[in-house]
Structure 1
Amino acid sequence: MIARTSAFHFKGASIDIREVGQRLGANLVIEGSVRKAGEQLRITAQAIQTESGHHLWSETFRRELKDVFAIQEEIAQSVADLLRLHMPGVQGAVQSSAPNLDAYTAYLQARFLIHQQSPEALQAALGQLRKLVKVYPDYALAYSDMAAANGLLALFGAVSGREVYPEVKANAERGYALAPESGETCTVLGGLRAWFEYRWDEADGIYDRALRLQPSHARAHMFRAMALLCQGDFKAAETGLRRSTELDPLSASDCARMAYLHYVKGNYPSAAEHLRQSFELDRDYPEAGLYEGLLHFQQQNYDAVIQCLSPSVSPLNIGLLAAAHAKEGSLSRTGECIERLHQLAARQYVTPLAEGFAAIGMGDFDLAFQCLDEAVNHKTNFVNLLAVEPFFYPLRSDRRFAKLLKRMSLSH
């Protein structure tokens, strides 16, 4: 099953069903429409083979608005029955845990913001979800998504991971306790165990459980793959990311992370191609911007680093920009970037990793290790990639490097 984020690219568009199938890599598409008149709903749904255009199933549902979740489950069950007929072994329909339509609508709005992954969108999602659980304190997926949003903020140092960790832990564990049979709550709990607590083996077992419950859950494949990448298991990481992109082929984040995997493997042309695909899907996707800068840096194309990162206000991007200026011999520009970081720190949280990037570019390894040590303390989770990230290679022969890895339960 293709993830909702990819399928929604075609919402409201008039596109030939064969093109939809080709772009999504799907041989069966479920489409439909909803009509509302007062409190009455009329929902049509149909299943179409993408290659032939043949309709395998269609049905019309007429219900009252208050029965919307009953309709959702009825349609899902009908589709699951159809899939079992054509694809033996497919699991039954997953039931919604939403308490009502208003709660579900608010949850979907927050999910939309989380998929954008900018710090502003993630903070807005957190605000919505916090309001939601005040009204519906047993809404499992809302707790899990609060943990995920804060985790993404900590990943690149938009917030102090150390400060949000108690909230991430409480929300991830609360979501799982409320819905332990949900692949989503398992996935987020696995993310907590891996990225914040360095309990990598335990996290892998939780991801296994998530995928047994929901084999087509793209985010579980992606979370697990990135945790495996931190541990240096490139082959397993690539298998997981490839599966995630198959399930969510129009996801800018999956394209960006596949680019990152090829970058750390040293396959720069493939990394550049996946970055191009990510930018085609979302020109402003922030994660891809950092990876583009890192790719240019490893290719020693420092002018390109400067060109792509100069407009950015992200602290990590500013730190990488400082490193590029240092490599070009412009210490005055490097100093200006570091001063920008200090000015930002007077107004907002700035991860120590940003100045660590600059220090590596300047060749000041004592300062670099000091900043990396602080970044581990602050749980800036990008540091979990220390063992594989090429930008950190100049530090690898120093005994302090192995000590940092040991703190995160990673091998050299």
Structure 2
Amino acid sequence: MLAPTDPRPKAIAVLPFLNLSSDNENEYFSDGLTEEIIHALGKVKGMSVVARTSVFQFKGRAYDIRKLGEQLNVQTVLEGSVRKAGERLRITAQLINVLDGYHLWSETYERKMEDVFAVQEEISNAIVNALKPFCQEEPAVVRRASENLEAYHLFLKGRFHNRKRTEDGLKRAIEFFHQATEIDPNHAAAYAGLAESFSLLAHKGLFWPREVMPKARTAALKAIALDGQVSEAHMALGFVKSVYEWKWEKAECHYQQALQVASYGNAEAHHWYSSDYLAPLGRLDEALEQMLHAQFVDPLSHLINSSLGFVLIMRREYDQTIDHYRKCLELDPSYYHFYTGLGRAYAQKGMLAKALEHFLKGKELSGHLPYITGIIAHCHAMMGRFSRAEKLLAELLLLARQRYIPSTTLALVYSGLNNRDEAFRWLERAFAERECSLVYLNVYPTYDNLRQDPRFHDLVHRIGFPSAPPVRLA
């Protein structure tokens, strides 16, 4: 995989705290404690903290501490466990030097649940003291999402389900975040969680954008009104402003604000700024720079590595894209996005048989997502297998009567079948719905065969893209 070559500063990985409670339902709490410590340490100047997505790759897995240090490029690792019994907590934590495996510090905390915030602060302070020569300031006081413990637990449950990034997970996250705001109407982080969850339902093509994006905007604005330092709220609002409202200047303001207030370990701010603002506008050098920074902070993130390949495709760097995705598959051969990304690169190089092979594997691993069916149909059409493409198209049209299917997916198939009138009819429907993927119209190579049509230029003009570098045609 691509990666920056700058040496990493004194770095730490906070591994997922083990849930030793008798109730597996308490896993949300141990995961939440891990994230809170990552966030607190990420605010310390001079300390480099690996983002949550990469460290959570090791959850529930046996590992060699030295190999883990090499893989994450860190010198120290924090391990811990949580045992919750009623309102009592027993939290253990140990800081380990990956070079020799020796403990730099360890502690056990026996507290009441109401003291959980104080414990988070004590652990963060203890780590900074152990690494004092490398830290330029004391850790910030842990920002308390809510003083209400019931609301705090509901928030942690919402975040736990939000991280699953599935339709069911996002729906459950919305339920928990909403309950948290009902108990504590001043819970800014819960409103930010609502905004992100609603946004992801649209981003993943699971719900009509007009149904969920206004809810995302309302929740993000509420979060910012309560606390302008919540980076996730600015990210969500930047996303709404860019891919839904097409208000590009306002979108950049919120993305920049998210970057300014985010902790070091928050790679997502750099990721979304790259993927959903810079790349659609054709600012591909900046997009690559931001995505590489996100990968540097969160090197094992499936989402970030997948999106890095996406940026490379938009840059028409297909050989580099293929090399990147091959290395991604060496790390995890079960993630469907790596296969579909590799397939897209092969398709752009005219290697359609290899592209189809990877698309089919990606569809199988994804649970048969409809948009991948559209990619496969387009590939068949490009191979001259029009009857197969039309059969898959008919299946998608039938499915669209039962659930939301992105109009851009259907436009892609018609484009492959050289039916430009139908392709533009579905693109117009995507425009009316303000589908998220439409913002890549000006940069994504799949649309190259439509670029000379006056209807294409009219559509681009109506989306209102600012001036951008010209697209480099393959």
Q: Normalising by structure 1, report the TM-score.
A: 0.89
| 2:181 equivalent to 1:133 | yes
Which residue in 1 is equivalent to 2:310?
A: 260
Which residue in 1 is equivalent to 2:356?
A: 306
Change (3 A) 1:94 1:203: farther
Give the match's secondary structure for 2:77: strand
Change (3 A) 1:60 1:14: same
Give distance in 2, aligned partners of 1:90 and 1:277: 38
Per the TM alignment, residue 256 of structure 1 is displaced from its structure 2 partner at its CA by 0.4
Larger deviation: 263-272 or 168-177?
Answer: 263-272
| 2:404 equivalent to 1:349 | yes
Structure 2 unaligned residues grouped into runs of 5+: 1-48
Percent identical: 32
Residues 199-348 of structure 1 mapped to structure 2, 5 A cutoff: 199-216=247-264, 217-226=266-275, 227-279=277-329, 285=335, 287-310=337-360, 311=363, 313-348=368-403
| 2:235 equivalent to 1:180 | no
On the 8 A contact 2:441/2:447 being kept in 1, the answer is yes
Which residue in 2 is equivalent to 1:68?
A: 116
Residues 45-60 of structure 1 mapped to structure 2, 5 A cutoff: 45-60=93-108
Per the TM alignment, residue 154 of structure 1 is displaced from its structure 2 partner at its CA by 1.7
Give distance in 1, aligned partners of 2:148 and 2:306: 35
Give the match's secondary structure for 1:348: coil
On the 8 A contact 1:43/1:62 being kept in 2, the answer is yes
Per the TM alignment, residue 387 of structure 1 is displaced from its structure 2 partner at its CA by 1.6
| 2:242 equivalent to 1:194 | yes
Give the match's secondary structure for 2:389: helix
Larger deviation: 139-148 or 332-341?
Answer: 139-148
Change (3 A) 1:256 1:179: same
| 2:453 equivalent to 1:371 | no
Give distance in 2, aligned partners of 1:273 and 1:205: 34
Give the match's secondary structure for 1:59: strand
Give distance in 1, aligned partners of 2:177 and 2:72: 30
Which residue in 1 is equivalent to 2:92?
A: 44
On the 8 A contact 1:253/1:288 being kept in 2, the answer is no
Per the TM alignment, residue 328 of structure 1 is displaced from its structure 2 partner at its CA by 1.9
Give the match's secondary structure for 1:15: coil
On the 8 A contact 2:318/2:346 being kept in 1, the answer is no
Deviation per CA, 1:75-112: give whole Å up to 9, x if none. Answer: 23443555564132686254131445554444344434
Structure 1 unaligned residues grouped into runs of 5+: none
> Which letter does structure 1 place at the counterpart of 2:127?
V
> Which letter does structure 1 place at the counterpart of 2:452?
S
Per the TM alignment, residue 407 of structure 1 is displaced from its structure 2 partner at its CA by 2.5
Which residue in 1 is equivalent to 2:30?
A: none
Which residue in 2 is equivalent to 1:358?
A: 413
On the 8 A contact 1:251/1:278 being kept in 2, the answer is no
On the 8 A contact 1:172/1:188 being kept in 2, the answer is yes
Change (3 A) 1:99 1:293: farther
On the 8 A contact 2:340/2:358 being kept in 1, the answer is no
Residues 9-20 of structure 1 mapped to structure 2, 5 A cutoff: 9-20=57-68
Give the match's secondary structure for 1:349: coil
Give distance in 2, aligned partners of 1:36 and 1:83: 29
> Which letter does structure 2 place at the counterpart of 1:222?
H
| 2:219 equivalent to 1:164 | no
On the 8 A contact 1:193/1:199 being kept in 2, the answer is yes
Considering fraction of residues, name the structure with more helix: 1
Deviation per CA, 1:146-186: give whole Å up to 9, x if none. Answer: 22222222224322112222111111111222221122222
CA-based RMSD: 2.7
Deviation per CA, 1:309-345: give whole Å up to 9, x if none. Answer: 4446433222222211212222221211111111111
Change (3 A) 1:352 1:39: closer
> Which letter does structure 2 place at the counterpart of 1:180?
G
Q: Size of the alignment, in residue pairs?
A: 412
Change (3 A) 1:38 1:365: closer
Give distance in 2, aligned partners of 1:109 and 1:281: 29
> Which letter does structure 2 place at the counterpart of 1:25?
N
